[in-house]
Amino acid sequence: MEGRGVAGGKATAADLGAYVCFEAEAGQGLRPPKGRTWAPVGARPVVTVRGRGSGRINMAGVVCFRDGERPHLFYKLHVYHGRKGEPQTFSWIGYRDLIVATRQQLGAPLVWCWDNLNVHLAGQLTDFAAEHADWLRIVQFPTYAPELNPAEGVWSLPPTPSACSPSPSNRNTAAPACPPGS
């Protein structure tokens, strides 16, 4: 398969001593679910929901693997509050910052694998990868192939009480999912 381009980053990662990183994104609307209640016959049921319910939280996560080591999970959050002029999702700068933060945490070269989201194909990210070719290689997945990306399954994992998360004060910075050794 490597000759056909599907597993093209495998030899590159081994040659560089790099982590193979798989990136995926997910989002969740902040509008509260519709509620139902009861009321006496003839009276209209009323459910009070605070807030206007607009907004969205987007998550970009990356799972990094290197032979002989435990996998690492990093993520970055983007909160959209529905304000005028506010970006609704990650820009190329957010993805660049996730790559840089992952590199700083791991301290090793990266082979970065992701899908063909329009922001991933931005010229600025291509230029960034070219400038940092000494430690970064980017591999695009084939179109419509989420089954090749192990990071896609991360979003279906149930939260656990021991799960780690960034504090609200630093939620817009990339953070490891759990500190080393936990």
Is 160 a residue whose pLDDT tops 70?
no
What are the phi and psi torsion angles at 44 (to 5°)?
A: -80, 130
Distances (CA, A) of 43 to 39, 47, 71, 172: 6, 13, 57, 46
The SS3 call for residue 78 is strand
| CA 106/CA 94 separation, integer angstroms | 18
User: What is the model's pLDDT at position 93?
Assistant: 93
User: What is the model's pLDDT at position 174?
Assistant: 55
Interval 14-19 mean pLDDT:
86
Q: In a 10 Å sphere around its CB, with 0-12 CB exposed, 13-18 middle and 19+ buried, how is residue 93 labelled?
A: middle
For the chain, how far is it from start to end, CA to CA, in angstroms?
36
| CA 165/CA 171 separation, integer angstroms | 9
| Residue-level length of the chain | 182
User: What is the model's pLDDT at position 158?
Assistant: 57
**Residue 128 binned pLDDT confidence (cut-offs 50, 70, 90):** very high
Give this prediction's pTM.
0.72
| CA 100/CA 176 separation, integer angstroms | 13
CB 59, CB 135: distance < 8 Å: no
User: What is the model's pLDDT at position 50?
Assistant: 61
**Residue 39 binned pLDDT confidence (cut-offs 50, 70, 90):** confident
Selected residue with higher pLDDT from 122 and 167: 122
**Residue 17 binned pLDDT confidence (cut-offs 50, 70, 90):** confident
User: What is the model's pLDDT at position 163?
Assistant: 46
